Structure 1
């Protein structure tokens, strides 16, 4: 991936991590340009937001602050990691789940 592609897609890549709506906005704004860097980070962010919704529902059933707090800290760290890699211009998957998200959402951004 060239430096120019990274530079052009960096803003939308960062936006994709902000909220689920940011991911949707980045996806649709990237449809015309088909920037590989933005598509990579959009797939990562979409996977994290879907994981957050699914696990949040399951963990909410425990009704335990310790479990809930650990969950939110874990999701926040992964989102922060994604934002930092987007800011630094790296195409680096999120630990543990990043490669899985790339395979599952491979059709997005192509």
Structure 2
């Protein structure tokens, strides 16, 4: 397990560079599937899609009471995911991580 984490750590960290990083990480992990990297790719891809979807939905509003909590929420989730990738953990992102694992189970 420890060897798997070390081999997939750079891919896992790369995946958290929003949409582009997730796509790059998917191509890096396509040949030799690393379970650790795949876990974090699913988390990061789901987080990127959630960011775009919520951002698009909220783009019609420019009310600080709506926009600032969105940015704080996304920053905390992104930071948590990146922290778990750096430390070698496979903890799902709170609230949405389990859903991302189910939706993107084929990655």
Whole-angstrom distance in 2 between the partners of 1:67 and 1:60? 10
Structure 2, unaligned runs of 5 or more: none
Q: Secondary structure at the match of 2:17?
A: coil
Which residue in the other structure is 1:101 paired with? 100
Q: What TM-score do the two structures reach when normalised by structure 2? A: 0.97
TM-score norm. by structure 1 comes to: 0.94
Corresponding position of 1:53: 52
TM superposition shift of 1:62:
2.1
Deviation for aligned residue 1:63: 2.0
**Gaps in structure 1 of 5+ consecutive residues:** none
Structure 1 partner of 2:89 = 90
Tell me how far apart the structure 2 counterparts of residues 69 and 18 of structure 1 sit (CA, whole Å): 21
Number of aligned pairs? 107
The residue that corresponds to 2:67 in the other structure is 68
SS at match of 1:92: coil
**Runs of 4+ residues over 2 Å off in structure 1:** none
